[in-house]
Amino acid sequence: MNINKYLLVSPAYPPPFIGGSSVWMYTLVENCNYGFDILTSILPKNEKEVISSRHTIYRKKRVHFSIQPKKLTLFISYLYQLLWIAVYVKKRNYKAVFANAEVVQNSLIILLGKLLKFKVIPMSYAEELTVPIYGKTLITKIKYFLLTFAYPKAYKHISCCHYAKNILSNEINISQNKIDVIPIAYSKEKLKLNIKKELNKKTQNILSVGRLIQRKGFGELIEVVKELKIEMPLLKLNIVGSGPLENILRKKVLKDNLQDYIVIHGKLSDDQLAELYLKSDLFVLAHRMLNNGETEGSPVTFAEAAIYKIPSIGGINSGASTIISHNKTGLIINMKIKSEIKNSIKKLLNNRVLLERMGEAAQKKIMNEHTPEKIGSDFRIILNTL
């Protein structure tokens, strides 16, 4: 068994490669060249471990992960993890413990660190911070209290986007010097990097990829494309993903007779998705912050699109601006304003020179700043300071 000096507590950890936070954390760990002890939940059926040999993974039944866990199950999971951490911190003398869970669990680990005098570094995303800040329920108020009470006591913070860093600084009063941003990286396994994309100057194909939920704005994007089709006859929209709104969106397309130019593909294989990237001219994710604070962090799909020289349109109040450079590699707009979406799509698709220039710049940015090797190196630099 490896004797590692860093502990990662992450109830969700690949496989499967689902969920931006767990995939981002996996990419950091696998590309930093240091060994980690990883405390996480049990391996799902039909999945095999994918960690490097330098790591030691502890998959425990008492470490619980699900979207809507029972309160008792969650309480037992919290207690088990805190006891496990306390025992292993004493046995292993870790240089730092990285907390990659939600606000309550991260806060408890931070407070345990203060009590037992070990360094805790929580990993922060957008929605985990905005929901406690803007939510109105008792649970969100408790989470907001923990954010303001426990998070300033952490040794330092790492976030996946500058939007989350600004929230930690401006809303939670954490010094910016204590917050490092390591952006998301594209996944080499999902992309066909050896295929040269040939732009067809006669197409106006939009691609949108993500879980089919309200904050992603797929219904609103369908409405925009429906209205634009009148003045842009070449316009087509491909939507890839699954989720609770899939049947509703499919019925909407059929009811409005849009199936000739709007296709909802559902979940596709990596090869099938790559083919759609190659045929697309513009990537649009019409995400927006909901009233309860739900929002986007840094969707990796923006990086995937950029690899194929596709400019992206993303939304404000999110981590999109860490991946998309406004007016250089794409556009950052207010997705709640339909006219902004329409005008942005027209601006890019009706100007092929601008579209191609942005696509070139997008690919260059991703290959310089968002490779697994680059973010692994950034993480390694932080580890060296510990």
pLDDT in tens, the chain (386 residues): 577 899 999 999 999 887 778 889 999 999 999 999 999 999 988 899 999 999 999 999 999 887 677 888 899 999 999 999 999 999 999 999 999 999 999 999 999 999 999 999 999 999 999 999 999 999 999 999 999 999 999 999 999 999 999 999 999 999 999 999 999 998 776 666 555 556 567 899 999 999 999 999 999 999 999 999 999 999 999 999 999 999 999 999 999 999 999 999 999 988 899 999 999 999 999 999 999 999 998 888 999 999 999 999 999 999 999 999 999 999 999 999 999 999 999 999 999 999 999 999 999 999 999 999 999 999 999 999 98
To the nearest 10°, report the CA torsion of 293, 299, 302, 305. Answer: -140
Phi, psi dihedral angles at 58 (to 5 degrees): -115, 100
Q: For the range 222-226, what are the long-range contacts, defined as Cβ-Cβ under 8 Å and sequence gap of 24 or more?
A: 222/249, 222/252, 222/253, 222/258, 222/262, 223/338, 224/286, 224/338, 224/341, 224/342, 224/345, 225/258, 225/261, 225/262, 226/256, 226/258, 226/262
Burial of 244 (0-12, 13-18, 19+ CB in 10 A): exposed
By three-state DSSP, how is residue 267 classified?
Answer: coil
Instruction: Count CB neighbours of 250 within 10 A.
Output: 16
Phi, psi dihedral angles at 313 (to 5 degrees): -115, 120
Q: Please answer whether residues 40 and 13 qualify as being in contact, where contact means their C-beta atoms are separated by less than 8 angstroms.
A: yes
Check residue 211 and give its pLDDT.
93
Same fold, 6-185+371-384 and 188-369: yes
Phi, psi dihedral angles at 294 (to 5 degrees): -60, 130
Nearest to 348 by CA among 281, 265, 262: 281
Consecutive H or E run containing 159? strand 157-159
Class of domain 6-185+371-384: alpha beta
User: What pTM does this model have?
Assistant: 0.90
Please check whether the domain covering 188-369 is classified as CATH 3.40.50.2000.
yes
Domains in the chain: boundaries: 6-185+371-384, 188-369
Q: If you compute the radius of gyration of the chain from its CA atoms, what whole number of angstroms results? A: 21
